[in-house]
Amino acid sequence: MAKATYKDAGVDLDVYRESMSRLGGLMRRTHTPRVLENPGGFAGLFQLDFASELFARRYEDPVLISCTDGVGTKLKVAALVGRHDTVGIDLVAMSVNDAICCGAEPLFFLDYIAMSHDDPDLLESVVSGISAACIEADCSLLGGETAIMPDLYARGDYDLAGFCVGVAERKSLLDGSLIAAEDLVLGVASSGLHSNGFSLARKVVFEIAGLSVDDHVEALEQTVGEVLLEPTRIYVRPVRKILNHYRVKNVVHGIAHITGGGLRENLERILPAQAAVTLERDSWEVPPVFPWLQELGEIEAEEMETVFNMGIGLALVVSPYYAESIRSQLADCGLTSWVIGSVAEGPRGVQWA
């Protein structure tokens, strides 16, 4: 009788070691001087402040902020296309964009990648996207975990989870409590679908419309795969720049990351009591991917607004006196924005004009 081995069970440790050997450089390129070397250790080490006097933050009352998220069924599209770096970008974006809603500086990121079998090329592609996104978000890829589970995932399937830790001074935390009547809501442009609503998007595109990822969409001048894999925009640097610019003033009163649930639901999460927001539907430019998808699936307008971001990836609730200045700074960072609503005193909630 043959002796059982781990390889026979679906886990090849030699291939696993090859996978791990490819990732070191992708991690190290994201490191800042606050990352402490711990070769062979079981955890990543990160010092809260810089040792150098030149870069020292000198925190007075620091609060750690943590976020976690995944990419959802957008991974199915990545598998169909055979491209996996963009979902790595999505993974980072979904957490760091949440962190900045609290006013945080993202410090470091951890990933968890679960696979059916070791695939060094696929793993390297995913982590290359994670690494690139961490650089864009100014946070360090501190570590991660790759789990090989052949009986839990079908061959070729994988899943991603990401974890971000950030920091903010307690006095600078954003929780929406300063939102008040006369504030304006600025909508910042998304790059497309981002990472939400893909169960509906895939059903419409692949089942109802019968399209493939290689089909060209004339109205969008891209293939279906290119449209659906457009990565989530990372807003960290522009928002950090704005918050640092107004460090001594209460100018930005709340930030909402527009993900599952759409603009109304996510904006309502940060509203204090007696803050009523009215949004103007025609106040921003809706990217063509949304009417294309709506027409393909004959989706009701209310359903679209609940499931998708509809072109607004981030909403900032700001003092009306500084709204145009903030929009100008966003434009300097390459981001389009619009005044899409206002706050009045009234029952807490968000409604359309």
Q: Are residues 138 and 219 in the same domain?
A: no
Listed residue (241, 69, 45) closest to 164, CA to CA: 69
Tell me, yes or no, whether 83 lies in a domain.
Answer: yes
Q: Give the residue from 172, 199, 219 where a domain finishes.
A: 172
Q: Residue 219: which CATH number? A: 3.90.650.10
- Claim: this prediction has a pTM higher than 0.75: yes
Q: Are residues 217 and 336 in the same domain?
A: yes
Share of the chain above pLDDT 70, in %: 99
Q: How confident is the model at residue 153 (pLDDT cuts 50, 70, 90)?
A: very high
Q: Are residues 318 and 202 in the same domain?
A: yes
Q: Are residues 250 and 139 in the same domain?
A: no
Compute the distance between CA of residue 331 and CA of residue 113 in angstroms, rounded to an integer.
35
Share of the chain above pLDDT 90, in %: 85
Tell me, yes or no, whether 6 lies in a domain.
Answer: no
Compute the distance between CA of residue 233 and CA of residue 235 in angstroms, rounded to an integer.
6
Question: What is the length of the chain?
Answer: 353
Q: Give the residue from 115, 141, 172 where a domain finishes.
A: 172
Tell me, yes or no, whether 179 lies in a domain.
Answer: no
Q: Are residues 160 and 195 in the same domain?
A: no
Compute the distance between CA of residue 80 and CA of residue 110 in angstroms, rounded to an integer.
26
Compute the distance between CA of residue 280 and CA of residue 332 in angstroms, rounded to an integer.
25
- The string of pLDDT tens digits covering residues 66-75 is 999 999 999 9
Tell me, yes or no, whether 7 lies in a domain.
Answer: no
The DSSP bridge partners found for residue 229 are none
Q: Give the residue from 113, 139, 172 where a domain finishes.
A: 172
Amino acid 18: pLDDT: 80
Q: Are residues 346 and 254 in the same domain?
A: yes
Amino acid 10: pLDDT: 80
Q: How confident is the model at residue 41 (pLDDT cuts 50, 70, 90)?
A: confident
Q: Are residues 188 and 160 in the same domain?
A: no
Q: Which residue has the tokens 């903010």?
A: 168
* Average pLDDT over all residues of the chain: 94
- The string of pLDDT tens digits covering residues 164-199 is 999 999 999 999 999 999 999 999 999 999 999 999
Compute the distance between CA of residue 150 and CA of residue 157 in angstroms, rounded to an integer.
10
Q: Is the pLDDT of residue 301 over 80?
A: yes
Q: Are residues 188 and 74 in the same domain?
A: no
Q: Which residue has the tokens 């990732």?
A: 23
Q: Are residues 19 and 139 in the same domain?
A: yes
Residues spanned by the domain of 322: 184-352
Compute the distance between CA of residue 301 and CA of residue 46 in angstroms, rounded to an integer.
46
Q: Residue 158: which CATH number? A: 3.30.1330.10
3-class secondary-structure state, position 258: coil
Tell me, yes or no, whether 121 lies in a domain.
Answer: yes
Tell me, yes or no, whether 290 lies in a domain.
Answer: yes
Q: Is the pLDDT of residue 1 over 70?
A: no
Q: Are residues 242 and 281 in the same domain?
A: yes
Amino acid 209: pLDDT: 96
Q: Do 133 and 38 form a contact (C-beta atoms < 8 A)? A: no
Q: How confident is the model at residue 53 (pLDDT cuts 50, 70, 90)?
A: confident
Q: How confident is the model at residue 37 (pLDDT cuts 50, 70, 90)?
A: confident
Tell me, yes or no, whether 140 lies in a domain.
Answer: yes
Q: Are residues 157 and 255 in the same domain?
A: no
Q: What secondary structure, in 3-state letters, does 110-176 show?
A: EEEEEECCCCHHHHHHHHHHHHHHHHHCCCEEEEEEEEECCCCCCCCCEEEEEEEEEEEEHHHCCCC
Q: Do 13 and 20 form a contact (C-beta atoms < 8 A)? A: no
Q: Are residues 190 and 332 in the same domain?
A: yes
**Which sign, positive or negative, has the C-alpha torsion 299, 228, 74, 195?**
negative
Tell me, yes or no, whether 234 lies in a domain.
Answer: yes
- The string of pLDDT tens digits covering residues 216-244 is 999 899 999 999 999 999 999 999 999 99
Domain count, the chain: 2
